[in-house]
Amino acid sequence: MGEKASPPEWYRHTLDLDAARSLVEIEYKPGEVMMAAASPGDEFLIIVDGQCRIVERQTVSGVHHPLGVDGPEIARVGPYALVGEIGLLSRNVHRHDVIALGQVTALRGDAETFAELLEDHTLAEMIGSTAARRLAEQVVPIVATTRMGRSTMLRPMLPIDRPDYIQKLATASAETILNRFFSRARPTPRVVERLLNIDFVHQFVWVAVDPDNPTTTWGEGRYVIDQRHESTVELALAVDEGQRGAGLGYLLGGAVAASAAAVGFEKLSVYVLSENVAMRKVLDQIDAHWRRFEPGVVTTTVAPGDLAEALVPELIEPIDLATHDLIHAAEVALS
């Protein structure tokens, strides 16, 4: 067994805070369930020493693995890992069993202590960004069918999508680049990084994926906060060249609109090349009024809730739930 790593800065910082006095040190025996799935999300653990298994207790289809019968192992975590924060941030039950792999020492805190710790900006940033990333990875893909009958699934864009995203930008046709960036020049590395730096507050991205291989994306829909108008977000859609004509643009546009409405944004603005008929058709589902923005570019502004109702009425509820979880965790990181 390797030597135990030095405590990270956030861990040392936590122990220096007054709120840390409320943390209770607990010893767990090998095989002991330290935190049970479906238990109230009212406590968290910081692993001090030892290793734990994170085990699925409920499958995507809702089937529970009975106690004593292990579900799939999701991960193993060791010293200085934070466990249980998602249940607290989402105000929901814990999603997995946490089982001691050997002798484990952990610090346990309750919801009140957690709230006190989040008052510290350093901890809030670490906890919130970690939770937002985990939540995005854990969001159960939303099964959907486009208006053209194409089966797909929607999920948030994840770090695993990065290589594929960069490759698609590098090989996209000149027409695709022009429609996306209003220029024939390919985006600079700085622009690409900005597109991939998704914090789920300033920028929120849904991707449509192959239902038989959820790591294969077919298109994306995103909103970006308009810095000039805090109640407005800007919509952008991109469907892979080989997947066009299947209705994915309508689906992604509706998903982004539903998320924007769930967060409380009042307006959804769009800027497109005037000849980009496919994008304009998505907004024309609610009779969008287009106006000239600059030579060759038109714009419109619509109510996101209206667009969601027109495009994905049956998906609004699951999108709303996933959006609220992600936004709440991400806002902690940025508060």
* Portion of the chain with pLDDT greater than 90, in percent: 61
pLDDT at position 332 is: 53
pLDDT at position 49 is: 96
Q: How far apart are alpha carbons 133 and 281 in whole angstroms?
A: 33
Which parts of the chain register pLDDT below 70? 1-3, 57-71, 90-91, 129, 132, 134-135, 138, 328-335
**Token couple for 47:** 């692993």
Given the structure tokens 């929901």, which residue do they identify?
92
pLDDT at position 220 is: 97
pLDDT at position 90 is: 66
Task: Write down the CATH number for the domain with range 142-334.
Answer: 3.40.630.30
pLDDT at position 130 is: 72
Q: At the fourth CATH level, which superfamily is domain 9-119?
A: Jelly Rolls (2.60.120.10)
pLDDT at position 329 is: 62
Q: How far apart are alpha carbons 273 and 179 in whole angstroms?
A: 6
Looking at this protein, which amino acid is placed at residue 177?
I
pLDDT at position 121 is: 82
pLDDT at position 330 is: 59
**Token couple for 192:** 């690409």
Q: What is the pLDDT of residues 241-254, one digit of tens each?
A: 999 999 999 999 99
Domain boundaries for CATH 3.40.630.30 within the chain = 142-334
Domain boundaries for CATH 2.60.120.10 within the chain = 9-119
Q: How far apart are alpha carbons 35 and 15 in whole angstroms?
A: 22
